[in-house]
Amino acid sequence: MGRRLSVLAPLAIVLGWALLVRVAHLYAFFANSPFSDTLVSDAYIFDAWAARIAAGDWAGEPRLFVLPPLYPYLLGSLYKLVGHYPSVAIVLQSLLGVVASGLVWRLAHDRFGAEAGLVSGILFGSVGTLLFYESMLVGTSVAVVLTVLLLVFIERWRRSDCYPDLVITGLILGLLAILRPNFLLVIPAVGMVLLWPLRADLKRLRSAAAVFVVGAAIPLLVLTVRNGAVAGEWTPMSSHGGINFYMGNHPGAPGWFAPPPRMPASITPREPEGNLLGPRRLAEAETGRTMSDREVSAFWFGKGLAFFVDDPVGALGVTLRKVRLFLSAHEVPLNYSFDHHRQYAAALNLPFGQMAVLFPLGMMGLIVVWRGRRIPKDWLLIGLVYGAGVIAFHVATRYRMPVVPILVLFAGAGVSTLISSIMARDWRTVGIGVVVSLFLIAGTVAEKASWEGTRSRSMDSFNLGTSHLYAGEPAEALPHLEAARRAGGQFVALHYNLGLAYTAAGRPEDALASYRLAIDIQPDLAPAHMNLGNIHFQANRFTEAASSYRSAIASDPEAHNARAALGWVHFTYHRNDSARVAWQKVLEREPENRSALAGMDRLKSLR
């Protein structure tokens, strides 16, 4: 009984700590963060998708899924049970984080000993980025929990040699592949590691391989059947892979999510698939034909591969930059920036929960277990292969999060060795360990600092303001958009959206200035020219209005509203024939254009 209590006491400490940290974080998040009741970008897409599923739309539209579908289906199932309450999902994700902390404790305890279990469990429960993503509806925390479960069932299979554990291991990998497609590369790697010890028994090897493959194939087959039956394309892939590959592999690619020049890729409630529609328009314009989802994806995959063929030196440079990003303590934002959100919750700032500390501790632990010939080759292989899958596309903090459990497990081994050396009064080993740790931490912090200023700190405020703007709340949007500009944001969408917000707020001169800044960056931005014209028109500056409308038409011949507005300028100057010609041209292409129809009615009333 006493021995059992001595084993359970560290587990209770780990679970209690993980729960305490999450309660503190959630309290601060819901009390302080403006993101607690406003969803942006991918979170908006996943939430809306889950709501449709909960309402009964299980098959979806007759097309490939834009994004990997597992998370929205899990979220939709939850909404079906409890109602459309995103906060419930956030609390549940946090509770799963507590459970995962206990599982990490078990993994480290069994591989490296009691002290390593306690250290790894506490470190995992304190990881700031994990706490952060548990409060965001983007599926990252689910990927981390499934990764921990994967490691657990790999261990179970090694000990039990029972097929149920092997099929569940495969099933978890299949689920991870339809949650984070980078895991597709991990499936054969794990299969090789698990089945290699059976190579001397071919019969046993074949049966175990079949069991593993069946488990991994189930989620992929379900998705393939859905895509074939509903979308007419027999593939387990989403339609977003090709453009994600090209965004990380094109001339001048920075290594993170970066649409190439002239590729619109923003996500808003009005256009929730902006980073798919923009690439589609360019692909169809270049090929001169309508393309299916799979064809669009293949087009951009081809463009990315061509980059390696046409400029191998440049491609190598981009790849090495992505390797550095993946191994850096710098948190690469995507939709959300961890560094921005640290102001809302103190729990995100625990020193030993930062990657600048975890990376060095993990490296130290890797050195320790390697020298002691205790290296878990399966864990290391999973981390390396998954990392390669991320680096092949583009790097973001939320994409690399599944390697955090492995990193923390190695960190626990390193710290526990240091603790054991202290207990044994082996001061030489302690001194070496401390010096190496401090050296690695200093180097990691310095490397992280070298990325400062490479990414705008404005994106979170911009995304939040944009969500309010397109929800019809310009008064709420404006402070966030202005904060994004003060944070250094200098990009087209920010200035354009500020123009929209200023217009709605009755500040036309500020709107004019914002639209002009957008046009300075992108001179052919037809909507900005159009809106400039509208402001001039309403201020009776008809000459300036006409000039802006003509610029909009020159930038986009399909800018029918600009042509119709130009007709109203002609009408104002009593050039009725010119107005009639302008409106007729609009109605030839867009028969239901309300502005042109109203203009023609006015001309008829003058007869």
Q: Where are the domains of the chain?
A: 2-237+329-449, 460-605
DSSP string, 425-467: T-HHHHHHHHHHHHHHHHHHHHHHHTTTTSS-TTHHHHHHHHH
Q: Average pLDDT for residues 135-160, to the nearest whole number?
A: 93
| CA distances (Å), origin 469, targets 223, 276, 472, 476, 489 | 35, 21, 5, 8, 17
In tens, the pLDDT along 410-452 reads 998 888 877 777 777 777 776 777 787 788 888 888 888 888 7
Q: Average pLDDT for residues 464-478, to the nearest whole number?
A: 84
Which pLDDT score, from 0 to 100, does residue 255 have? 87
Among 70-74, 109-113, 208-212, the range with the most confident prediction by mean pLDDT is 70-74
Higher-confidence position of 586 and 348: 348
How far is Cα 561 from Cα 37, in angstroms, rounded to an integer?
Answer: 35
Which pLDDT score, from 0 to 100, does residue 264 have? 58
Of the pLDDT bands very low, low, confident and very high (cuts 50, 70, 90), residue 275 is: low
At 238 the three-state DSSP class reads coil
Give burial (CB, 10 Å; 0-12/13-18/19+) of 122.
Answer: buried
Which pLDDT score, from 0 to 100, does residue 201 have? 80
- pTM score: 0.88
Res. 467: pLDDT tops 50 = yes
Q: Average pLDDT for residues 453-481, to the nearest whole number?
A: 81
Which pLDDT score, from 0 to 100, does residue 268 have? 45
Identify whether the C-beta of residue 558 lies closer than 8 Å to the C-beta of residue 531: no
Res. 5: pLDDT tops 60 = no
Of the pLDDT bands very low, low, confident and very high (cuts 50, 70, 90), residue 372 is: low
How far is Cα 182 from Cα 516, in angstroms, rounded to an integer?
Answer: 41
Which pLDDT score, from 0 to 100, does residue 217 have? 94
**3-class SS letters over 387-403:** HHHHHCCCCCHHHHHHH
Higher-confidence position of 89 and 66: 89
Res. 473: pLDDT tops 70 = yes
Q: Which of 113-127, 424-438, 463-477, 528-542 shows the lowest mean pLDDT across its residues?
A: 424-438
| Average pLDDT along the chain | 87
How far is Cα 331 from Cα 540, in angstroms, rounded to an integer?
Answer: 50
Nearest Cα residue to 96 out of 139, 35, 158 = 139
* Percent of the chain predicted with pLDDT > 90: 41
DSSP string, 305-338: HHHHHH-HHHHHHHHHHHHHHHHSSS---BSB-H
* Percent of the chain predicted with pLDDT > 70: 94
Which pLDDT score, from 0 to 100, does residue 284 have? 79
Res. 554: pLDDT tops 60 = yes
Which pLDDT score, from 0 to 100, does residue 170 have? 95
Q: Which helix (H) or strand (E) holds 543?
A: helix 542-555
Which pLDDT score, from 0 to 100, does residue 257 have? 82
How far is Cα 456 from Cα 518, in angstroms, rounded to an integer?
Answer: 17
CATH numeric code, 460-605: 1.25.40.10
Which pLDDT score, from 0 to 100, does residue 421 have? 73
Which pLDDT score, from 0 to 100, does residue 270 have? 47
Q: Average pLDDT for residues 282-296, to the nearest whole number?
A: 82
**Taking the CB of residue 196, how many other CB atoms lie within 10 A of it?**
11
Nearest Cα residue to 386 out of 369, 365, 407 = 407
Res. 1: pLDDT tops 60 = no
Res. 570: pLDDT tops 70 = yes
Torsion (CA) 461, 271, 471, 483 in degrees, nearest 10: 10
Which pLDDT score, from 0 to 100, does residue 456 have? 62
CA 111 to chain centre: 32
Res. 84: pLDDT tops 50 = yes
Joined together, the tokens standing for residue 588 give 């030839």
Q: What is the largest CA-CA distance in the chain?
A: 104
What type of residue is 482? Answer: E
Which pLDDT score, from 0 to 100, does residue 419 have? 77
Res. 475: pLDDT tops 80 = yes
| CA distances (Å), origin 3, targets 10, 104, 117 | 12, 21, 16
At 607 the three-state DSSP class reads coil
CA 292 to chain centre: 24
Q: Average pLDDT for residues 375-398, to the nearest whole number?
A: 90
Nearest Cα residue to 345 out of 17, 556, 35 = 35
Which pLDDT score, from 0 to 100, does residue 272 have? 44
Joined together, the tokens standing for residue 504 give 């709605």
Identify whether the C-beta of residue 497 lies closer than 8 Å to the C-beta of residue 525: no
How far is Cα 182 from Cα 460, in angstroms, rounded to an integer?
Answer: 26
Which pLDDT score, from 0 to 100, does residue 267 have? 44
Helix axes 140-160, 163-177, angle to 10 degrees: 160
Nearest Cα residue to 135 out of 48, 272, 24 = 24
Joined together, the tokens standing for residue 143 give 């990927």
Q: Which residues, 6+ apart, have CB-to-CB distance to 43 below 8 Å?
A: 136, 137, 138, 335
411 phi/psi in degrees, rounded to 5: -60, -40
Which pLDDT score, from 0 to 100, does residue 269 have? 42
Helix axes 274-287, 241-248, angle to 10 degrees: 90
DSSP 8-state class, residue 67: S
Of the pLDDT bands very low, low, confident and very high (cuts 50, 70, 90), residue 83 is: very high
Q: For residue 271, how many C-alpha atoms fall within 13 Å in the half-sphere facing its CB? A: 9
Res. 555: pLDDT tops 90 = no
How far is Cα 514 from Cα 496, in angstroms, rounded to an integer?
Answer: 6
Res. 335: pLDDT tops 70 = yes
